[in-house]
Amino acid sequence: MKDAFGAPQSLLVLGGTSEIALATARRLIALRTRTVWLAGRPSPALDEAAAELRGRGAQVRTVAFDALDCAGHEDALGKVFAEGDVDVVLMAFGIQGDQARDEEDPQAAARVAQTNYTGAVSAGLVCAGALQAQGHGSLVVLSSVAGERARRADFIYGSSKAGLDAFAQGLGDALQGTGVQVMVVRPGFVRTRATAGLPEQPLATTPQAVAAAIVTGLRRRSETVWVPGSLRVVMSALRHVPRPLFRRLPV
Ligand SMILES: NC(=O)c1ccc[n+]([C@@H]2O[C@H](COP(=O)([O-])OP(=O)(O)OC[C@H]3O[C@@H](n4cnc5c(N)ncnc54)[C@H](OP(=O)(O)O)[C@@H]3O)[C@@H](O)[C@H]2O)c1
């Protein structure tokens, strides 16, 4: 349960090595979050992330979780909820893919969709059910501005995020009145290893800025968070640009 000041006591991260998720976990730990679960594919990086957060004073455990193994989600995530209430679930797993390569390799393209969309539908429903059963909590979904409008440069990734975003919005509507909040986060270009080597886009931001926006959104119980906030206005204009013109824009 949240403490007397409204700060979450417990956090479950799906995608436990995500730079955005770890920046968010650090921020929440500084605000008194005491229990953190890092769910992810077992790796030295996952163990190092857990050790680093422990050093900040949280009780941290890891759990094996693979977004592509939908059949295993109930088991993997059920173990976490069986240990106690979770105030915030942060769904942070995802892959960028390599657009040029994936256009030539349909199986690699399908892996992007399976990870970012199918995996999220399965894990999202498992977590939503568990949050509903406990009667409270927030599910934070890392969508992307790339899902707002398909771009030539990354439409495979963008389409997976469009599906994820629509799913999360609908899930949020389905959970109205249950005490469970779904918050959709739409960052623009964030400087992390996922974007290392890609040409930086306008309004690029940092994992720390996304973390700050997530924490503010949780406090306000926001349904949608854009990072940076100005992207909301930019995208409401870009959404209506005719396609022949949009194709020529340097976005
Ligand atoms: N960076 C950006 O510009 C940006 C912008 C908008 C939205 N986002 C979204 O924000 C989220 C976090 O991104 P990030 O920048 O923090 O990226 P990141 O540091 O590369 O983290 C991605 C995470 O996804 C995990 N993952 C990948 N495939 C998985 C699978 N099959 N099963 C379980 N976990 C898997 C990775 O785990 P491993 O350690 O096992 O690889 C890692 O923990 C992603 O959903 C991303 O699409 C990022």
The whole-model pTM stands at 0.97
pLDDT of residue 7: 83
Phi, psi of 206 (to 5 degrees): -120, 160
Alpha carbon of 93 to ligand 1 centroid (Å): 4
Residue 76 · residue 63 · CB < 8 Å: yes
Residue 9 has pLDDT above 80, yes or no: yes
Alpha carbon of 5 to ligand 1 centroid (Å): 30
**CA 160/CA 112 separation, integer angstroms:** 7
Residue nearest to atom 42 of ligand 1 (CA): 18
**Partner residues linked to 104 by β-bridges:** none
Average pLDDT over residues 103-127: 98
Average pLDDT over residues 120-125: 98
Give the pLDDT confidence of 84-112 residue by residue, as tens digits.
999 999 999 999 999 999 999 999 999 99
Tell me the percentage of the chain whose pLDDT exceeds 70: 98
More confident position, 6 or 50: 50
Residue nearest to atom 19 of ligand 1 (CA): 18
Pocket lining: 193 vs ligand 1, CB cutoff 6 Å: yes
Give the pLDDT confidence of 32-76 residue by residue, as tens digits.
999 999 999 999 999 999 999 999 999 999 999 999 999 999 999
Helix axes 155-174, 106-113, angle to 10 degrees: 20
Catalytic residue (choose from 37, 93, 117, 157): 157
Categorize the per-residue pLDDT at 250 as very low, low, confident or very high, splitting at 50, 70 and 90: confident
Could you confirm whether 157 is annotated as catalytic? yes
- Burial of residue 104 (CB within 10 Å: 0-12, 13-18, 19+) is exposed
Sequence letter at residue 68: L
All residues at 6 or more sequence positions from 76 whose CB lies less than 8 Å from its CB, including other chains: 39, 63, 64, 65, 69
Label residues 45-56 b or e (16+ Cβ within 10 Å = b): ebeebbeebeee
Alpha carbon of 9 to ligand 1 centroid (Å): 24
pLDDT of residue 3: 67
Give the pLDDT confidence of 139-162 residue by residue, as tens digits.
999 999 999 999 999 999 999 999
- Burial of residue 132 (CB within 10 Å: 0-12, 13-18, 19+) is middle
Token pair belonging to 16: 């436990």
**CA 149/CA 239 separation, integer angstroms:** 7
* Dihedral (Cα; 165, 167, 171, 173), 10-degree rounding: 70
Residue 5 has pLDDT above 60, yes or no: no
**CA 192/CA 173 separation, integer angstroms:** 31
User: Pocket of ligand 1, candidates 12, 14, 17: which has the most ligand atoms within 8 Å of its Cβ, to mutate?
Assistant: 17
Pocket lining: 45 vs ligand 1, CB cutoff 6 Å: yes
Pocket lining: 41 vs ligand 1, CB cutoff 6 Å: yes
Pocket lining: 192 vs ligand 1, CB cutoff 6 Å: yes
Pocket lining: 158 vs ligand 1, CB cutoff 6 Å: no
Token pair belonging to 13: 């991260």
SS3 category, 248: coil
Tell me the percentage of the chain whose pLDDT exceeds 90: 94
pLDDT of residue 251: 80
Pocket lining: 67 vs ligand 1, CB cutoff 6 Å: yes
